[in-house]
Every structure is written in C-alpha cells, then in structure tokens.
Structure 1
Amino acid sequence: MNAEEILTGMARAWNAGDGAGWAAHFAPDADFVDAVGRVQHGRDVIGAEHQKIFDTIYRGSELELRLRDTRRLGEDVYLMHSTSSLDVPAGPRAGHWEAIQTKIVQDGLILAFHNTALVDLADVVHEDEELARRSPQEWRHA
C-alpha cells in the first residue's frame, strides 16, 4: 500500500469503529505512541486498545487523515507525516481535535507511529505574561 491508501484505509476503519481494521495497517511487531504518550506494542495490542476507545470515548467519532509529506529512508522504507481532524460527538473527549502523526512504513505496513495533539502554545502560556510577549513561530500551530 502507498501512503494515501494507508491513510484512506485507516480513516475508513476508524470511522467504522473497527479496531482490527485499524490495526491491519500495522506490522505485527509495530509500535504506536498515542497522543497522551502511551506506548502500544504489536498489531494485536494496537487493535484491542483502539477497539476499547471506539466502543467508549470515541464512539461515533469521525476521523479525517491528510498526507503532509513522505521521504524515502531506504529500499521499501519511508517516513510519512500526516495530519488529522477528529470530531467526537459526545463524552469526555467531545469536540474537535487536530493532531500530527509521524509514521515509518515498510512494505506497505506501519512499523512505528507517533501521534501528537496539536495545541496552540499561546493557550498554554497565557498566564505567563513574559512568555506570552514572545512569539516564536507565533506560538501557533500550522
């Protein structure tokens, strides 16, 4: 699978609430670091953990994945960055969420996946007046 096919398949599985379908895009011994820093090792664990969130806090959510870039690292191995928009209709994670992902892909399967929530640093530093006056990269995500 190429990068677009991987992202399309992952979004389809997420939107169907299908943990096994989501995990099918990972190598059997893949590593997944979620947006809150938990490490999941192996396709079976990744599938089971995603099924838990599909059945609970992300029930009925809609995910959109967009390819940002790819770079070849070696024969049949590439680095992929994607961005995502997640709309969660209810529950403790209700709302709209943006994130960026880094993936290492080999032979059409994800070996490593790191998901990072996108937040505006301006929101984080708003109580620190001195820091708030500074504007590295405008304190905003792209």
Structure 2
Amino acid sequence: MSVQQVLTGLQRAWNAGDGSAFAELFREEADLVDVVGRHQRGRSEIARQHRRLFENIYRGSRNEFRLLDERELAPGVLLAHTSSTLHVPAGPRAGETRSIQTVIVQDGLITAFHNTMRSDFAEFERGA
C-alpha cells in the first residue's frame, strides 16, 4: 500500500468513526504519539484509544489528511510528512484543528506516527 493509500484509509476510517479500521493501517507493533503527547504502542492499543475518542470528544468528527512529502529511507520503508484538518461538530473540541504528522510506513503499514497540533507562533511567543 502506498503512503497515499494509507492516508485515504485513515481518513475513511476516521470519518466512519471506526477505531478498529483506523488501527488496521498500523503494524502490529506500531507506535503512535498523539497530539497531546500520549504514546500508544501496538495496534490493539491504538484501536482502543481511537474507539474511545470516536465515542466521546471526536464523535461525528471529520478529518482530512494530505500528503506533504515522502522519501524512501530503505527498501520498503518510507518517511512521510502529512497534514490534517479535523472538524469537530460539538463538545469540548468543537471547531477546526490543524495538525502535522511524521509517519513511517513499512511495507504498506504504519510503523510510527507522530501527530502535532499546529498553532500560531506569535500566540505561542506571547504565552497565549
């Protein structure tokens, strides 16, 4: 599976609110660091955490993933940078959140995924 196919699968699973389908795009021993810095290790933990998110703060949300760049690190191992725009309809995270991700795809499945929320640097410098 190409990086673009993986992203399409992530987007489809997210938008369906399907944590198990989301996790199926990760290798069994994959690592995911989410936007608040929680480290999730293993496909089953990634599935569990995403099912919980889709049942709660991200219920009914829509996510759009875009490939920014990719390069081969070794045969069958790709490093990609992606961006996403998350639309949450209601609740404590209602609104739009933009993020950027570093993703390592090995033989068509995600080995590592690091997600970082984007914010305005001027606000960050002011301590806002």
Q: Report the counterpart of residue 132 of structure 1 in structure 2.
A: none
* Cα separation, 2, equivalents of 1:78 and 1:127: 36
* Cα separation, 1, equivalents of 2:87 and 2:2: 26
Q: Report the counterpart of residue 125 of structure 1 in structure 2.
A: 125
Alignment of 1:1-142 (within 5 A): 1-126=1-126
CA offsets 1:89-130 (integer angstroms, 9 cap, x no match): 0111111000000011100000000000001111122369xx
- Alignment-mate amino acid for residue 7 of structure 2: L
Gaps of 5+ in 2: none
* Cα separation, 1, equivalents of 2:59 and 2:9: 18
- Alignment-mate amino acid for residue 103 of structure 2: K
Q: Report the counterpart of residue 133 of structure 1 in structure 2.
A: none
Residue aligned with 2:80, SS: strand
Bigger relative CO (Cα 8 Å, ≥ 6 apart): 2
Residue aligned with 1:52, SS: helix
Runs of 4+ in 1 over 3 A off after TM superposition: none
* Cα separation, 2, equivalents of 1:99 and 1:110: 18
Greater radius of gyration (CA): 1
Aligned positions, number: 128
**Larger strand share, 1 or 2:** 2
Query: Identity over the aligned pairs, expressed in percent?
Result: 53
Q: Report the counterpart of residue 135 of structure 1 in structure 2.
A: none
* Cα separation, 2, equivalents of 1:29 and 1:112: 9
What RMSD over aligned residues (CA atoms) do the two structures have, in Å?
1.1
Q: CA deviation at 1:74?
A: 0.2
Q: Given the superposition, is the C-alpha separation of residues 127 and 37 from structure 1 closer, same or farther in structure 2, using an over 3 Å criterion?
A: closer
What TM-score, normalized by structure 1, do the two folds share?
0.88
